[in-house]
Amino acid sequence: MSEQTRTWRFAVNVTPKPGILDPQGKAVERSLPHLGIAGVSGVRVGRRVELSVTAADEAAARSIVDQLASELLSNPLMEQYGVEALGESEAPAVTGVGG
Amino acid sequence: MTTRIGVVLFPGSNRDIDAVNALTVAGAEPEILWHESVDLSGIAGILIPGGFAYGDYLRAGVIARFSPVMRAVAEFADRGGPVLGICNGFQVLAEARLVPGALLRNRGLRFVCRQVTLLPEHLDTPFTREIGERRPLRMPVAHGEGCYYADEATLDAIERDGQVLWRYANEDGSVAGPDDPGNPNGSLRGIAGVRNAAGNVAGLMPHPETAVEAILGSDDGLGIIRSLVVSAGEWASSGRIAGTRPAAAMGGAR
């Protein structure tokens, strides 16, 4: 690993696009009366992916995340995504199989 | 010469044996293609069977889309070779953008495993030509994410261009809309299967490969499998079959 590179942590939040029927969100919404909760609507269930990226600078790291988010983590036909910067990490996160 | 049809095998595929059986019944020579294989030499057609490729993690079909064999399949499709995806195979083709639309979670949220009735349209395509006359076809579905979705403009376009090949039907023979009993998953406009604009790649959620012999309860699926085999045979004899390597543009991404 070059000394020039640093590591940043990001979260990618993937949600169903507006207008796409989200049966999971509807199911959650329908369960709310059983909890005695009222006044909650518009529930949409998505997915959050957190990851670390090592790159020359934060902009380069972010463009990798954007590519990953649009090509793999979301399907633009039915989902939208937002990228959240979680700040610089000390070192690359430990990765590997069997963890 | 017997027509060789490649059956793509991902980790998690589970309908590959049914696909091999169906192709054999239809008179073809099936050949298993491992997901890491990029060698399609001598292959005249591709069948991507059902299952849960790569565990269906993230979204059904998406990890499979980036496998080496799919780069080769995309290149094969680009040259005009016939490709049929069934169930999870349809999801893989949709994620790879080789056919239009996407498959969402079933509207009822449940995994649905039951017989459905399909109405074929356009009986002159590479995937419907051997069906014969237009009649309801009985075969099973077994999936959790089969709700066909595309935006209204795309739906209009694929209907106009003859890309919708199969729709779910109600008992009275009418097309089953998203909330009708004949529609197992909420698919828009009752769409069960579509093809690409060029016409040589198609996918459907129901399982014609498990409805190819009377002993299986129905042989209504055989016409679809036979269509693939006949089309592949024609394509092969047209001379475009080759020893193949993924095109540089497609193999370049690592």
On the question of pLDDT at A96 being above 70, the answer is no
CATH code assigned at B103: 3.40.50.880
- Reported as a single tens digit per residue, the pLDDT across A53-93 is 999 999 999 999 999 999 999 999 999 999 999 999 876 55
Q: Could you tell me whether strands B201-204 and B83-86 are parallel, antiparallel, or unpaired per DSSP bridges?
A: parallel
On the question of pLDDT at A94 being above 70, the answer is no
- Chain A nearest CA to B189, separation (Å): 14
Number of domains in chain B: 1
- Neighbouring-strand partners of residue A11: A50, A84
| Model pLDDT, residue B241 | 65
Q: Give the residue carrying structure tokens 């949409």.
A: A44
- Chain B residues with CB-CB distance to A50 below 8 A: none
- Reported as a single tens digit per residue, the pLDDT across B29-64 is 999 999 999 999 999 999 999 999 999 999 999 999
B217: in domain: yes
Tokens standing for B8? 């793509």
* Nearest CB to A21 within list B66, B95, B107: B107
B176: in domain: yes
B254: in domain: no
| Model pLDDT, residue B244 | 42
- In the sheet with B191-195, reading across from the earlier edge strand, the strands are B29-34, B4-9, B45-48, B83-86, B201-204, B191-195, B164-168, B112-120, B137-143
How many residues are present in chain A?
Answer: 99
Active site residues of B: 87, 207, 209
**Short-list B108, B101, B110, B112, CA closest to B165:** B101
Q: Give the residue carrying structure tokens 């020579």.
A: B29
Enumerate chain B positions whose Cβ falls within 8 A of a Cβ in A: 58-59, 62, 66, 95, 101-102, 104-109, 147, 149-151, 186
B253: in domain: no
| Chain A contact probe: residue of B63, B66, B67, B104 with most A CBs at under 10 A | B104
On the question of pLDDT at A1 being above 90, the answer is no
On the question of pLDDT at B245 being above 50, the answer is no
Write down the pTM of the prediction.
Answer: 0.89
Model confidence band, residue B252 (pLDDT cutoffs 50, 70, 90) = very low
How many residues are present in chain B?
Answer: 254
Question: Which residue ranges make up each domain of chain A?
Answer: 6-89
Of A3-12, A53-62, B72-81, the poorest mean pLDDT is in: A3-12
B109: in domain: yes
CATH of A6-89, one of 3.30.1280.10, 1.20.140.10, 3.40.50.720, 3.40.50.261: 3.30.1280.10
| Model pLDDT, residue B109 | 87
Range of the domain at B234: 4-248
B59: in domain: yes
What percentage of chain B carries pLDDT values higher than 70? 94
| Model pLDDT, residue B249 | 37
Tokens standing for B212? 């190819």
- Side-chain-facing half-sphere of B143: CA atoms under 13 Å: 37
B135: in domain: yes
| Model pLDDT, residue A95 | 58
